[in-house]
Amino acid sequence: MNLTLSIVAAVVAFGVTALMGKVLIPVLHRLKFGQTIREIGPKWHMSKQGTPTMGGLMFIIGICASMCVCIPLAHSLEVSETLLLTVKLFAGLGMALAFGAIGFMDDFIGIVKKRNLGLTERQKLILQFAVAAAYLASVGMAGGSTAVQFPFLGRLELSFAYYPLAAILIVGLVNAVNFTDGIDGLNSTVTFFVALGLSFCAGLLGMVNLSALGVAAAAACLGFLVWNFHPAKVFMGDTGSLFLGGMVAALAFGIDLPVLLLPFGVIYWVEILSVVLQVTYFKRTGGKRLFKMSPIHHHFEMSGWSEVKICAVFGLVTFLFAVLGVLCVAFGL
């Protein structure tokens, strides 16, 4: 990990994201781009009705600004990387931006129609799989491997089966990250630790630019928390949550360790699994509920946990699993 590059990436991403709040939040207020709160959610969430959404644009701009500074800086520092790593960097950032664009469409339609839902599930899935396929094709044409590396266990060659499995994993992760966005500060807190952990892994593997991208993503999450920590002054919306999902996937696939998405993304997977279990149980029992509400952060919220406590506990769990993942990379490869 290049320390100079990492510091610059962090400072620019955090600074631009935090400062964007001063500019963007008043604009979102003037445009009346407020969040529509679902009536089936916790009743106390109704006080958040009208809070500006699409705030994910803040950290999207922050991360892009950081990369605009860091890529030329890396060149001046004589950081030399292969064509494949360069493609992974730009294709990964492009994938995250494309997922963010899908989220933007979803948010915008929801705002215009004054409802919580924008694009249909079918429309979102088609677009998401198209984005994932474009990313995988780009990396594949640049010479990307179709083998999956497992710490301590070695490599498993999947051949053509790699592509559909990878696409399903990417789309699944992106939607899991989206489900994690439901209370003030939660998604930003969890993704901070995930991005930082993946950045460390990239540094250990000598992938300097990808490491800088991870640092920028983590720092931008902190910059967004300046405005999103409870009580939130802005929500990231699907614009931000889908972008973050794409960013996490880009980092994990960029370092050829998508298997790390299992430990690093433990909270993401628990969130989406809680929704699947809730819906399945509800249908099979004729209306009974397994949890008080899903995703599971709402279950804890309705059990009396504060939003700050949920963020702290979920963040701590992510931190511990991220440390485990970094140690696996450090000693298992």
Domain boundaries, the chain: 3-332
Nearest Cα neighbor of 135 from 87, 205, 64 is 87
The one-letter amino acid code at 86 reads T
pLDDT surpassing 60 at residue 229: yes
For the residues 130-139, what does the mean pLDDT come to?
Answer: 98
Half-sphere exposure of 293 (CA within 13 A, CB side): 16
Q: For residue 256, what pLDDT is reported?
A: 95
In this prediction, residues 127-131 reach a mean pLDDT of 98
Closest CA to 248 of 43, 101, 76, 100: 100
H-run or E-run covering 150 = strand 147-150
Q: How many CB atoms lie within 10 A of CB 34?
A: 18
pLDDT tens digits, one per residue of 268-287: 999 999 999 999 999 999 88
pLDDT band at residue 205, thresholds of 50, 70 and 90?
very high
Residue 48 has pLDDT above 80, yes or no: no
Give this prediction's pTM. 0.94
Q: Which of 78, 87, 123 is nearest to 103 (CA)?
A: 123
157 near 145, Cβ under 8 Å?
Answer: no
Q: In this predicted model, what pLDDT tens digit does every residue of 56-69 receive, in sequence order?
A: 999 999 999 999 99
**Residue in the block written with tokens 């198209």:** 130
Q: Give me the chain's average pLDDT, please.
A: 92
Residue 218 phi/psi, 5° resolution?
-65, -45
User: Interhelix angle for 83-112 vs 56-76, to 10°?
Assistant: 160
pLDDT of residue 12: 98
Q: What is the mean pLDDT of residues 291-315?
A: 94
Of the candidates 217, 226, 218, which has an alpha carbon nearest to the alpha carbon of residue 185?
Answer: 226
Q: Measured between alpha carbons, how far is 258 from 176 in angstroms, rounded to an integer?
A: 15
- What single-letter DSSP state applies at residue 42? -
